[in-house]
Amino acid sequence: MTTTAESTSTTVDQRAAGVAPNLARRAGFFRDVASIAARSLRQARREPETLFPPIFVPVFFFMILVGSLEDTFGHTGLNDFRAFQLPVSVVLAVTGLTRAPSVVTDITTGYFERLLLSPVNRMALLLGMMVADAAIVVALCVPVLVMGAIVGVEFVTGFVGILAFVVFATAWSIAYVGILYAVALRSANPTVTSQTFLLYFPFVFLSTTMVPREAMKGWLSTVAGFNPLTYVYAALRSLITEGWSGPDLLKGVVAIVIVGACTHTLAYAALRGRVSRSRP
Amino acid sequence: MNQRLSVSSDPGGPGPDAFAIHAVDLRRRFGERWAVDGVNLAVPSSQIYGFLGPNGAGKSTTVRMLCGLLIPTGGRATVLGHDVARDPGGVHLAIGAALQATAIDDRQTGLEHLRLQGRLYGLRRAETERRIAELQDLIELGEAIQRPAATYSGGMKRRLDLALALIHNPDVLFLDEPTTGLDPVSRFKLWDEVRRINRERGTTVFLTTQYLEEADELAERVGIIADGRLVAEGTPDELKRRIGADVVIARVSGDPERARQVLDGIPEVERVDVDATEVTATVGDGPTAITPVAVALAAAEISVETLTLRQPTLDDVFLAVTGHRLATGTAAQPDAGASELATTGRTSQ
């Protein structure tokens, strides 16, 4: 993580002869991350169609679930089914929202190798894209929260709670996308990478997406107890309806950290393999 | 593998720091196959060095090792004193490279490519904009520089790729088959640009190519690589002189091996190479030798479709040292003379 400028290799003879010097120097880790993130965001701006599903799906599910099940779920003890479902909408919007597939394109077109020829910090190649993902997730939380406000969902934790809600959603999203980057970097295969979305289903539907844990019975309740997303939901919901609930928030943080540690370890291992100078 | 040492020479002489590019017994193995098998190089600063060979000869693997992208299996190489295995970061700062695949992101505009490249090389904004202005003539994209690269032709992408390699004024420029797929006009323009960069900045250029004309036109020295080994090296003129003053080429319709035997018996003929239906006789004095050659072939009742007298080309050199022509890629058996020439191929300087 070198942040200081490094002298270039222009020879003394070249300088004496008035030849334009080699201008290359290390830009520094944070500038590298910012450069890669900015590029990723530019790409996202040019591909607005990729943002349509993450906006449409949560709004669609919210409308359908609230419209059809709000009355039915009254017996589960839920006072506010809309508040219960808003975190689901956010999770549906941000889980798997990533620019990871563009890594595959970069690898297959040779542009990734062009980046490796430069003095860019290798870690910045991955972190820069994740920073861009985080920025997109934050932006996508806005329409979902606006939708919640329109249908009357209020945060008992106030504006700070809304910010904490966005931070939680973003942290979950970044923890989850590590696995997608791992697959993209490891396989460099668009088909394999796109199949990774299947992971989304067990995470989302074997958790408290539809009903609270107390209303679950048998194996589903047991599985949901091991699903980290259950605790992320609990943290998000507590910010809306319960206030600053330390245990719920702490469990949510732990769940995100565990998922993130696993997926990011895989992602960084895949990055190391991809930039390895031993590979053909 | 047993020929490796016999055809590769030790650069010897001054130490590695005296050269822009220096390699000793550079090797790279993929599985059981040696893609690069003991290459020695000693390229002085400010030289345009042509690395000539057919597809699969080991050119790109050599370049990838010299650029610090691939770790050598054996041997050692330095670029401007930076060890390619131990100090790839130093190598990356010193060099610019346009590799075989045009590394352009279709989703970025030309201008975005150049600005990002400038940032990654640590250039300040003003430096990047100045370099972009200086590279405008090379890029020749006009208004298209503001459009996504997906709309560019192959030639436009090639030029942009070269400009990206040059954004930071590198001291050593690696070009891996830079004109493959370009139309003749774009190719000549790129040649002019390579010459200009070399002349004005003294940039060392390491150019791989499978085009004989390109190596002949551009390179001050040429290394010929075949099957991972450097089989001959020298200036284009030196290499041509090594095989003789002139060549007589007979395209025969019968058995070319019989034609070889016939020509081998002519005193004026110094060596004979066969590639498919072409029999190439290297002679000391073409005008004197062509009549005996024609008479001998006629006397042996060998049907000759064409008989050509000309000065040697790098393709003739390639035929002499590898046993087949670069242009056709047709395999033939190298003869003893080929080995002799190969062993005389020395590295630069």
Would you give the distance in Å from CA B236 to the centre of its chain? 11
Among the residue ranges A111-125, B60-74, B309-323, the one predicted with the least confidence is: B309-323
Residue A19 inside a domain? The answer is no
Task: Report chain A residues whose CB lies below 8 A from the CB of B115.
Answer: none
Phi, psi of A24 (to 5 degrees): -70, 135
Q: Does B32 touch chain A (CB under 8 A)?
A: no
Tell me what pLDDT residue B77 has: 97
Q: How close, in Å, is residue B193 to chain A by CA atoms?
A: 16
Nearest CA in chain B to A106: B105
Average pLDDT over residues A195-213: 85
Tell me what pLDDT residue B331 has: 36
Average pLDDT over residues A200-223: 85
Task: Report chain A residues whose CB lies below 8 A from the CB of B87.
Answer: none
Residue A33 inside a domain? The answer is yes
Tell me what pLDDT residue B140 has: 78
Average pLDDT over residues A35-48: 93
Among residues A246, A178, A216, which one has the least CA distance to residue A76? Answer: A216
Q: Give the pLDDT confidence of B93-143 residue by residue, as tens digits.
A: 999 999 987 889 999 999 999 999 999 999 999 999 999 999 887 777 788
Residue B340 has pLDDT above 70, yes or no: no
SS3 percent helix, strand, coil of chain A, rounded to 5, is 75, 0, 25
Phi/psi region, residue B170 (left: phi>0; alpha: psi -120 to 50; beta: rest), is beta
Q: How close, in Å, is residue B269 to chain A by CA atoms?
A: 45
Cα separation, B157 vs B140, in Å, equals 11
Helix (H, G, I), strand (E, B) or coil at A223: helix
Residue A271 has pLDDT above 50, yes or no: yes
Residue B341 has pLDDT above 70, yes or no: no
Nearest CA in chain B to A33: B120
Nearest CA in chain B to A103: B105
Residue A222 inside a domain? The answer is yes
Average pLDDT over residues B216-239: 92
Q: How close, in Å, is residue A52 to chain B by CA atoms?
A: 19
Tell me what pLDDT residue B338 has: 35
For A118, which DSSP code? T
Domain total in chain A: 1
Task: Report chain B residues whose CB lies below 8 A from the CB of A43.
Answer: 107-108
Task: Pull the structure tokens for residue B37.
Answer: 């098998």
Tell me what pLDDT residue B132 has: 94
Average pLDDT over residues A254-275: 97
Cβ distance of A35 and B120 shorter than 8 Å:
yes
Question: What proportion of chain B, given as a percentage, has pLDDT over 70?
Answer: 89
Residue A222 has pLDDT above 60, yes or no: yes
Contact A267, A126 (CB under 8 A): yes
Query: Within 13 Å and on the Cβ side, how many CA atoms surround A183?
Result: 20
Cα separation, B318 vs B329, in Å, equals 10
The DSSP H or E segment spanning B282 is strand B278-283
Taking the CA atoms of B143, B146, B152 and B158 in sequence, report the sign of the dihedral they define: positive
Phi, psi of B221 (to 5 degrees): -130, 150
Q: How far apart are the first and last CA of chain B?
A: 26
Residue A70 inside a domain? The answer is yes
Residue A250 has pLDDT above 90, yes or no: yes
The DSSP H or E segment spanning A189 is none
Cα separation, A206 vs A229, in Å, equals 9
Q: Does B152 touch chain A (CB under 8 A)?
A: no
Tell me what pLDDT residue A229 has: 94
Phi, psi of B84 (to 5 degrees): -65, -25
The DSSP H or E segment spanning B224 is strand B221-226
Among the residue ranges A3-7, A111-115, B269-273, the one predicted with the least confidence is: A3-7
Among residues B300, B303, B270, B297, which one has the least CA distance to residue B286? Answer: B270
Question: What are the C-alpha distances in Å from B285 to residues B107, B240, B250, B273, B299?
Answer: 59, 14, 16, 17, 22
Cβ distance of B30 and A280 shorter than 8 Å:
yes
Cβ distance of B123 and A23 shorter than 8 Å:
yes
Q: Characterize B51-90 residue by residue with b for buried, 16 or more Cβ atoms within 10 angstroms of its Cβ, and e for exposed.
A: bbbbeebbbbbbbbbbbbbbbbbebebbbbbbebbebbeb
Contact B207, B180 (CB under 8 A): no
Tell me what pLDDT residue B334 has: 36
Higher pLDDT, B8 or B157: B157
Contact B341, B243 (CB under 8 A): yes
Q: Give the pLDDT confidence of B264-304 residue by residue, as tens digits.
A: 889 988 889 888 888 999 888 888 888 999 999 999 989 99
Tell me what pLDDT residue B285 has: 86
- With cut-offs at 50, 70 and 90, classify the pLDDT of residue B37: very high
Residue A150 inside a domain? The answer is yes
User: Average pLDDT, whole number, for chain B?
Assistant: 85
Nearest CA in chain B to A9: B94
Q: Which of B30, B90, B119 sits opposite A27 (nearest CB)?
A: B119
Nearest CA in chain B to A10: B171
Q: Which of B103, B120, B201 sits opposite A20 (nearest CB)?
A: B201
Question: What proportion of chain A, given as a percentage, has pLDDT over 70?
Answer: 91
Cβ distance of A119 and B89 shorter than 8 Å:
yes
Probe site for chain B from A2, A11, A19, A22 (most B CB atoms < 10 A): A22
Q: How close, in Å, is residue B341 to chain A by CA atoms?
A: 32
Cα separation, A232 vs A138, in Å, equals 16
Cα separation, B16 vs B25, in Å, equals 13
Instruction: Write the DSSP assignment of B87-152 as a string of letters.
Output: -HHHHHHHEEEE-SS----TTSBHHHHHHHHHHHTT--HHHHHHHHHHTHHHH--GGGGGSBGGG-
Q: Does A16 touch chain B (CB under 8 A)?
A: no
Residue with tokens 């004989």: B212
Q: Does A277 touch chain B (CB under 8 A)?
A: yes
Contact A87, A161 (CB under 8 A): no
Cα separation, B118 vs B96, in Å, equals 12
Cβ distance of B170 and A22 shorter than 8 Å:
yes
Cβ distance of B103 and A110 shorter than 8 Å:
yes
Residue with tokens 């934790």: A157
Residue A17 inside a domain? The answer is no
Return the number of CB contacts < 8 Å for A and B.
128
Tell me what pLDDT residue B14 has: 61
Residue A71 has pLDDT above 80, yes or no: no
Residue A69 has pLDDT above 90, yes or no: no
Residue A13 inside a domain? The answer is no
> What residue numbers bound the domain in which A270 lies?
25-278
Task: Report chain A residues whose CB lies below 8 A from the CB of B36.
Answer: none
Residue A77 has pLDDT above 90, yes or no: no
Average pLDDT over residues A132-148: 93
Contact B222, B192 (CB under 8 A): no
Cα separation, A140 vs A4, in Å, equals 36
Residue A1 inside a domain? The answer is no
Tell me what pLDDT residue A128 has: 97
Cβ distance of B90 and A9 shorter than 8 Å:
yes
